[in-house]
Chains A and B, each alone.
Chain A
Amino acid sequence: MSKLKNNIDKGVTNFYLNLDVDIIKESLKDDGVDVIKEDEKISKFSKRIKFMNKAIVIKEKTDNLLETIVSKFQEAIENNIDNPIASLKKLIEAKELSVQFRNLDKLTEEEIKEIIKGKNLVDLMDELDGETD
């Protein structure tokens, strides 16, 4: 982009970055835009993005926690650490899962997730931390 075009672009962008919203609304009204109707739409949308943002943060935290717990179980199986293995066996029994889940050495990541499913992850993490400390 040439310097002149760059400056014009910066000028226009800076204007909209810093312009008072009331001035914009007045101008939109002059152009025939139903600002009140749009205000409702904007308000709904901003609530939606705040909700979406919260949901994503919570989901990502949950996913991270799940990954950590799965790793801890895998590590326990690999290193034959008694207490986490016992916890895992208890969960398998409580859920009455099929035979394929009984052979811990062959458990896949997805199968461990299936075993953990429905459990309170924070409690489970605390339990594992207590056992491995």
Chain B
Amino acid sequence: MLKINNEISEVLKNCDIDSLIRRMQAFTINKLGYNNKNYDGLEPLDFVFAVFEKALSGVRNWDKSKINFEGFVFGSLKSDIYASIEKQKRRKNTPVEEIIDESYILDIPVISDEVGFEDTTTQRIDYKTEKQDFLEKLKASEATDLEILIFECWCDEIFKPQEIADFLELDVTTIYNALKRLQKRRKNILQKKS
């Protein structure tokens, strides 16, 4: 614990925590939306704060040799969001008014879904077919060219916002706005599917 907290001290000294919290908050909203019911009486920021508290108290242990601090807290946040969605699922009687993005959650073990983690345990799916199928659904839902291009970037493993912006010769804000639309569209597609 002392070693971890000393390492966290170093991060807290050198990193813009306020900015990290904002990015985590935006990520939470991206996954759970704005509807209060999806937060079990809490707010998106409360989810983020809980991640830091768990890291400091040792409920979740950061392994510096495996992942950087930002990747670790994002991974923890994903696990908490997953747990929250699972909790809501168990309360079947309470309808979730705003559709939440649980599409990425398929038996993800806690923390293992961090950035850089490659899941090799699941079955191989025909990537090409799956990609084509999703592309058709995007087109059918009248996705813009930019939304489709962002999706294609991800398929080609171009992930960082600046890299996508440079590749598409656009600014990051434009990409971000399109990403939000794309995420909403994806939720709707998945909702129809279920």
Contacts and interface: CB of A to CB of B under 8 A. Distances in A.
Nearest to A10: B159
A14 B161 contact: yes
Contacts of A107: none
A132 interface: no
B190 to A, nearest CB: 10
Interface residues of A, number: 45
A25 B22 contact: yes
**Interface size band for B:** 35 or more
B159 to A, nearest CB: 4
A19 B124 CA distance: 31
B140 interface: no
B74 A13 contact: yes
Nearest to A25: B22
B2 interface: yes
B12 A8 contact: no
B42 to A, nearest CB: 13
B176 A4 contact: no
Secondary structure at the A interface, as helix, strand, loop or mixed, is helix
B108 A1 contact: yes
Nearest to A20: B172
Contacts of B32: none
A29 B16 CA distance: 21
Interface in B105-153: 106, 108, 113, 115, 118-119, 122, 124-125, 127, 130-131, 134, 150-151, 153
Nearest to A5: B104
5 contacts: A5-B104, A12-B30, A25-B22, A31-B29, A53-B12
Interface of B: 1-2, 5-6, 8-9, 12, 16-19, 21-27, 29-30, 34, 45, 49, 52-53, 56-57, 70-71, 74, 78, 103-104, 106, 108, 113, 115, 118-119, 122, 124-125, 127, 130-131, 134, 150-151, 153-155, 157, 159-162, 172-173, 176-177, 179-180, 183, 186
Interface of A: 1-21, 23-28, 31, 38-39, 41-43, 45-46, 49-50, 52-54, 56-57, 60-61, 64
